[in-house]
Amino acid sequence: MKVPFPLSLKVSVWLLLNLLLLAAGGTALYLRQFGGGWDSLAVGALGDRLQSHGNALVAAYYGSTPEERSVVLAERDRATGAQHMFFLNTGQSLAGAAFELPADFARELRRGPPGRGGSFRGGAGGEGPPGRGPGPGRFLHRDADGTLWFGLRVPLLRDDGPPQRGTLVIRVPGLLPLFRLYDLLPWLGLGAAAFALSVLFWLPLVGSITRDLRRLTAATEALALGRFDTRVPDSGRDELGHLGRSVNRMAGRLDTLVNGQKRFLGDVAHELGSPLGRLQVATEILETRADPALREQVRDVREEVQQMAALVNELLAFTRAGLRPREAELAVVELAPLVAEVLAREDAAGTVRTELAAGAVHADRVLLGRALGNLVRNALRYAGPGATITLRSATEGPEVLLAVEDDGPGAPPEALDRLGEPFYRPETARTRETGGVGLGLAIVRSAAAACGGEVRFANRAPHGFRAELRLRAA
């Protein structure tokens, strides 16, 4: 069985792939501009933004009184989620949180300002662009756990002397603090807003397409069940609207052909009814008056006439059930008295068990009685002697389920999908004694449709057969 893949999901996946392609293009431009690896965070515009952040912090720090300086660092730590520390280039900590510096980072810090040593690429930083280091007066290190350490060479003022050479160390423990440090959250918000707007922009189109397709699917499924009066609402001037109008024309044509065929069968059956009735009476009279040597042949003729009369009667019942959907007057039908009446008519009151949990349905009483009678007769005919036959009802939400079950041999699996087709009989049922003419279950299907319900056929495990009527609960 194929897993369903809705059209709306396909469009959503395609939109996501489009956005990922745009993101990949933006990443490629970034790498071309700044190069790959973690060193790129301290190069070009990103490095200048980091340097501006450091210079602003130094100005705020030394523009405050000694008592306020710890508050300045703490507030900056809370705002970014990173930790800021001031070190002398000798490695001595002056202010900020107390963290042990990575060994490679500490060696670079003690190496001094640019011009006194090479550029630093410690830890998992990777390589920067050819011929470019992390930037003048900047170096970084990345721990194995992903923590980034930035070093910015800055002058550290003293109250009693000239500035000292120092370094602002910024410890960034994750991506969110990194985004806050570079002030990238507004850009991420802008990207998320663009994605949301793209989805909202596509939703009306996708919704209209899937809505039209759902209508077409429901209409074609109803047509497959024989409800040829089904129509698709006119949905517009596009291809789906044209398809809907084509389905409507097809449904109208099928309705005309099928109902015309049923009317023809009904007219033929009706016209044959009177002659066959007279012929039955004549053969019965002839059998009583015939020479004893000929009575066997006359009896055979009478049985053939009875078979023809039964066929005509079933044709009449089938055509009447099939032509009633628009004319059927649905009313509240109490199940218990109807089931008792059906079992008495089929002489099955002592054979079929009943388990009626539901009380009433909306249906045409005559058609529903005929459908139940055919199902009971079908079970008595094919379940075999000694089989257990049960007629039960149950309420399932807005529907009532009526089922006739037996523990007989069941139907051939390949025949289940065709049960209910007019004149169809499984090969195992093609006998004069049990085969019928193939209209019993077709009448059940037509009667169920006329009552606004449906019928399903299935084999039971480990053996047996189940016919299920679903009707609207009263």
Chain Cα centroid distance, residue 68: 60
Residue 216 tokens, joined: 């077409």
3 state SS of 425 = coil
Class of domain 38-182: alpha beta
Q: Closest Cα to residue 454, out of 465, 436, 467, 466? A: 467
- Token pair 């109807």: residue: 338
Task: Domain 219-323: give its CATH code.
Answer: 1.10.287.130
pLDDT tens for the chain, 474 residues long, are 567 777 777 777 887 888 788 888 877 776 666 555 566 666 656 777 788 888 888 888 877 777 788 888 888 888 888 888 888 888 888 887 778 888 888 888 887 665 443 333 333 333 333 334 454 578 888 888 888 888 888 887 766 667 777 888 889 888 888 888 877 778 778 878 887 888 788 888 888 888 888 889 889 988 887 778 889 887 777 888 888 889 999 988 988 887 777 777 777 777 777 788 888 888 888 888 888 888 888 888 888 888 778 777 777 776 766 655 445 578 999 999 999 999 998 888 888 999 988 789 999 898 899 899 999 988 998 888 888 999 999 999 899 999 999 998 988 888 888 888 877 777 655 455 555 567 788 888 888 888 888 999 999 988 899 999 999 998
User: Contact at 8 Å (CB) between 98 and 12?
Assistant: no
Model pTM? 0.48
| Cβ within 8 Å of residue 395, ≥6 positions away | 357, 358, 401, 473
What's the longest Cα–Cα distance across the chain? Answer: 148
DSSP state of 251: H
Q: Name the segment(s) of the chain with CATH classification 3.30.565.10.
A: 331-472
Location of each CATH 1.10.287.130 domain in the chain? 219-323
Q: Where are the alpha helices (DSSP H) in 149-235?
A: 175-181, 185-224
For residue 288, give Cα distances in angstroms to 13, 226, 279, 341, 460.
Answer: 82, 47, 14, 35, 48
331-472 has which CATH code? 3.30.565.10
- Is-contact 121 151, C-beta < 8 A? no
